[in-house]
Amino acid sequence: MSGKKLSYGANISSIGILENGLELQRPLLGTEIAAGFPSPAQDYIEANLDLNRQLILHEAATFFVKVSGDSMIDAGIYEGDILIVDRALPATNKKIVIAALEGELTVKQLHICKNRWYLLPQNDDYKPIEIDEDTDFSIWGVVTYAIHKLF
């Protein structure tokens, strides 16, 4: 990076970090839920599920961002979603990443083709961004989960 101050781009509205050692345990039902024809309900809880252990692989390298905008809706990422981002994972072809681009943070899908890098929005209303040697660019992390309300 060339020393520019980073700002939240058109589709990142805030950043948060994971508080070390924080557990978030909730009951886990002892049966899977049918998405087709309903099955009889099971009446017991099998165990507790810690969402941090379930959703976070590298605790010290994980942060959260809140999405602003609609450039990733075809990837199932919507305005107001919270993304879980892991800085320890490699940013490889077709991964959804948080990138610092010209001093602003953005979420896009990384495409690497014939030694050329592109940041692709997942909405036809937006154009791909080609990364060249003159682009002020770095990868901040790989998006592992998107959390959003269903209503």
Q: Which of 87, 81, 77 is nearest to 56 (CA)?
A: 87
Q: What is the DSSP letter of 51?
A: H
Element (H, E) at 96: strand 96-101
Residue 127 is a catalytic residue: no
Has 71 been annotated as catalytic? yes
Q: Which of 5, 7, 94, 108 is catalytic?
A: 108
Q: Which of these, 128, 8, 10, 143, lies nearest to 77 by C-alpha position?
A: 143
Choosing from 68, 71, 127, 138, the catalytic residue is 71
Q: Which residue has the tokens 């993304």?
A: 83
Tell me which residue of 140, 124, 147, 129 sits closest to 56, measured CA to CA.
147
Catalytic machinery residues: 71, 108
